[in-house]
């Protein structure tokens, strides 16, 4: 529970400057917190949480946009079934209404992977975890 509380507090501090009512933000904080608990093995940095709120949530937390919505697992089933590498390729190149990199020009590959984990609830694959370990050596 401490992990959940810590991430909720970090997310709330990042989202405060966004001009939305607190009532509208609270469900997203709860949903993102649940995603973080599911992806605790790959905890996002504060920078990545900021990228998440400044880029991903602009479309994936806006029900009037046709983008898959954060917190709606049925929106992500077909996407998750494609696998991490395919999803990463689609994010990097853009797909449908999503622009290349999701407008996140500050994101590197590790950021994009972390944002995919947060957004989809996908767990890091063994292949990507092993590859990233080798790259960091």
Q: With a cut of 70, which residues of the chain have pLDDT below it?
A: 1-42, 126-137
∠52-123-18 over CA atoms, to 5°?
A: 15
Give the phi and the psi of residue 69 in degrees, each rounded to 5. Answer: -95, 135
Whether 136 is covered by a domain: the verdict is: no
pLDDT of residue 134: 45
Q: pLDDT of 9-32, one tens digit each?
A: 666 666 666 555 544 555 656 566
d(CA 43, CA 65): 28
* pTM check: above 0.75: no
Domain extent for 41: 2-131
Whether 137 is covered by a domain: the verdict is: no
Whether 45 is covered by a domain: the verdict is: yes
Total tally of structural domains belonging to the chain: 1
**Domain containing 17 — which CATH number?**
1.10.760.10
Whether 105 is covered by a domain: the verdict is: yes
């Amino acid at each position: 529970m401490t992990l959940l509380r810590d991430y909720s507090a970090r997310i709330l501090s990042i989202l405060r400057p966004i001009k939305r009512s607190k009532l509208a933000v609270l469900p997203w904080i709860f949903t993102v917190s649940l995603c973080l608990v599911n992806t605790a093995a790959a905890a996002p940095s504060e920078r990545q949480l900021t990228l998440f709120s400044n880029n991903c949530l602009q479309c994936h937390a806006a029900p009037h946009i046709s983008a898959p919505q954060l917190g709606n697992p049925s929106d992500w089933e077909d996407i998750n079934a494609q696998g991490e590498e395919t999803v990463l390729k689609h994010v990097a190149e853009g797909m449908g209404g999503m622009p290349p990199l999701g407008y996140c020009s500050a994101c590197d590959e590790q950021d994009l992977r972390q944002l995919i984990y947060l957004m989809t609830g996908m767990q890091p694959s063994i292949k990507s975890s092993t590859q990233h370990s080798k790259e960091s050596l």
